[in-house]
Amino acid sequence: MAPSKTAEVIGAGLAGLTAATALAQRGWTVRLHERDSDIRAIGAGIYVWGNGLATLEALGLYEEAARGAHVGPVLESRDHRNRVVEEVPINGPGQARVLTIMRDHLINTLIGGAEKAGVDIRTGSEVTEASPDGRLILRSGETSRADVVLAADGVNSRIRRQFDVVAHRAPARQGATRLTVPRSPEFVPAQDQGKYIEYFSGRRRVLYTPSSETSLYVALVADEDDRPASRIPVDTAAWIRSFPHLERLLSACAGVPGRWDTFQFLTLTRWSMGRLAFLGDAAHAQPPYLGQGGGCAMMSALGLADALSGSDAPVDQRLRDWEYAERPTIEHTQRWSHRLGQLNYVPDAARASLLKGCGRLPRLGASRLRAALTTPTGSGRFAGASAR
């Protein structure tokens, strides 16, 4: 029997865990390095659209990931007067699928899947160097060599910085404070409690996201230089001035631990060189306005495992084939995310008219949801879906 192929994966986020699990399920010997002493989820809730759900189905993890998730009927955008200006029906026949769950539950589900598949997860294991010939060096001084090395170590990837591969990187002008509060019937009217709602007012947004039966994910989006809005702990008075109709919800955010992150946009000249590949935020970070950062990372990671396992071509060729297949949809989604962020700089009345107009154009809606409606490469083999 021929020895199994080996993979070293750097970073235990959504991309790294997905790639490691998918490769192990396909017979690879996989070691996953996480530099922290434990694997922590950064963030609060997360939207998992159809492409991410299909990836979880392909890994055999959908049922566990969806346990306790919220399934909303509609996505709404509302103007500064709390009027609905756009609505996108979801989760019905012929509509896009999306669940919202707590990020730590999703990460723990992927950890369980990786362990079951036989991935060797090493925490407190920091990789300091990697090379296109498949070699890597750990801070401990240990060296290793593998058939493929996958750098999934985030937007500030240490491994990526060793190579001149960044085509464009720019912090967005906006960011968000993300936090979780207990759900309450007092926050919004009864008819709105199960919806996903994005509220606009000036250059600020509030995202209302039920993420379980008991948890509500709240994102407070503003310009990075809007000091009252970006303050931690949350300056609830500043936010209530912009959204007086959400006073009870925003008051509940007082003193709640939260985290401010500036959004990032990143593209690379190429996603791989030799036996080394970049994936997830290390390759294609995007603002969160489509809720697709995690979904694109998972979808691309599954496609990577499929490309590496479904051909006898040299590894570098398989990695180029993977990029050729995945990059168009992901960069389309990045561009859409960037455009949606520019809505912050459109005056309230004009923005409301623009969103109303967009809601009347089905082709525009389909373009915006392209990633969500994509069947991930490699999912057909395991989930019975047809590949792209």
Q: pLDDT, tens digit, for every residue of 255-267?
A: 999 999 999 999 9
Q: pLDDT, tens digit, for every residue of 269-303?
A: 999 999 999 999 999 999 999 999 999 999 999 99
- Tell me what the mean pLDDT of segment 173-192 comes to: 96
The pLDDT of residue 2 is: 56
Q: Which domains does the chain have, with CATH numbers?
A: 6-170+263-383 (3.50.50.60)
- The DSSP code for 375 is P
The CA distance from 375 to 141, in Å, is: 41
Long-range contacts of 109-113 (CB under 8 A, 24+ apart): 109/56, 109/61, 109/64, 109/65, 110/14, 110/17, 110/18, 110/21, 110/59, 110/61, 111/12, 111/17, 111/39, 112/61, 112/64, 113/17, 113/21, 113/59, 113/60, 113/61, 113/64
Query: CA-CA distances (angstroms) from residue 191 to 141, 186, 278?
Result: 59, 12, 44
Q: pLDDT, tens digit, for every residue of 69-110?
A: 999 999 999 999 999 999 999 999 999 999 999 999 999 999
Percentage of the residues of the chain whose pLDDT score is greater than 90:
91
**Beta-bridge partner residues of 33:** 10, 122
- Tell me what the mean pLDDT of segment 152-163 comes to: 98
Q: Are 209 and 196 in contact (CB under 8 A)?
A: yes
Q: Are 16 and 114 in contact (CB under 8 A)?
A: no
Q: Is the dihedral of CA 327, 329, 330, 336 positive or negative?
A: positive
Ranking 188-197, 234-243, 315-324, 355-364 by mean pLDDT, the lowest is 355-364
